[in-house]
Each structure stands twice: as structure tokens, then as C-alpha cells.
Homo-oligomer: A and B are copies of this chain.
Amino acid sequence: MNPKLLRGSLDTIIIKLLNDNGEMYGYEITQKVKELTGDTIKITEGALYPSLHKLEGKGVLAVETRSIGNRYRKYYSITKQGKSELATMLEDMKAYMQSMELLLNPKLA
């Protein structure tokens, strides 16, 4: 899929996934998105990690580093503020998608 289309919706995807699945680490998010979309959407790590850091900085996500044997993972979870922002983001996304349907399938014009 043309990755240009993903622009602007990455944050919504991340927050929605964390809202539904409790806590997740970065790499897990990339795999989950590939799995759920049948390899259609592939989130690059160069886009993901800066977004996670940004969302954490804004207070939308919380992070906890855990040791797994000799290595570590950073588990992210959604905050209260994140939950309230998610509501707005989902409304916006819904409005956007409905509008795109109207533009691309103007059958009732």
C-alpha cells in the first residue's frame, strides 16, 4: 500500500492498539499492525519510535522498562489523558473516512 496514506494516522493507530490490548512494546506494535491488516500496513521503526517518545512526552502514554533475561523491553500503556484524546481522534478518523467515502463513491450526487 502507498505509505503516504498513513501520514497523520499513525498516532491514532498506536493509541487505539494500546487502548485495546493493555500494554505493548514497540516492536510488538509493528507486528500486531502487520498481523491485523494482513501485511497491508507496515509501520517502520523510524516512524514508530519517535512517535512513541512524542506521545509519552505529551502525557498520552506511560512507559515502563522491563528486563527480559539479558535484554529489555519498553512497555507502553495509555494514560487517562490518552483515553480522552483517543475519543477525539476516533471521531476525527470516522469523520475523515466517511468524507472519503463520499468523495470516492459519489453515487448519491
Which A residues are within 8 Å of any B CB, using their own CB? 1-2, 4-9, 12-13, 16-17, 20, 33, 36-38, 40-41, 89-90, 92-93, 95-104, 106, 109
Name the contact of A6 in the complex, choosing from B8, B20, B101, B104 (C-beta under 8 A): B8
Contacts of A36 in B (CB 8 A): 99, 102-103, 106, 109
Contacts of A5 in B (CB 8 A): 8-9, 92-93, 96
Q: Report the bound CA distance from A36 to B9 in whole Å.
A: 22
Contacts of A103 in B (CB 8 A): 13, 16-17, 33, 36-37, 41
**12 A-B contacts, Cβ less than 8 Å apart?**
A1-B92, A5-B8, A5-B93, A5-B96, A6-B96, A8-B8, A36-B106, A37-B103, A40-B95, A41-B96, A90-B104, A97-B100
Return A104 CB to nearest CB of chain B, in Å: 6
Contact A104 B16 (CB under 8 A): yes
Contacts of A104 in B (CB 8 A): 12, 16, 90, 93
* For the complex of A and B, 3 pairs with smallest distance between CB atoms: A7-B7, A4-B8, A37-B99
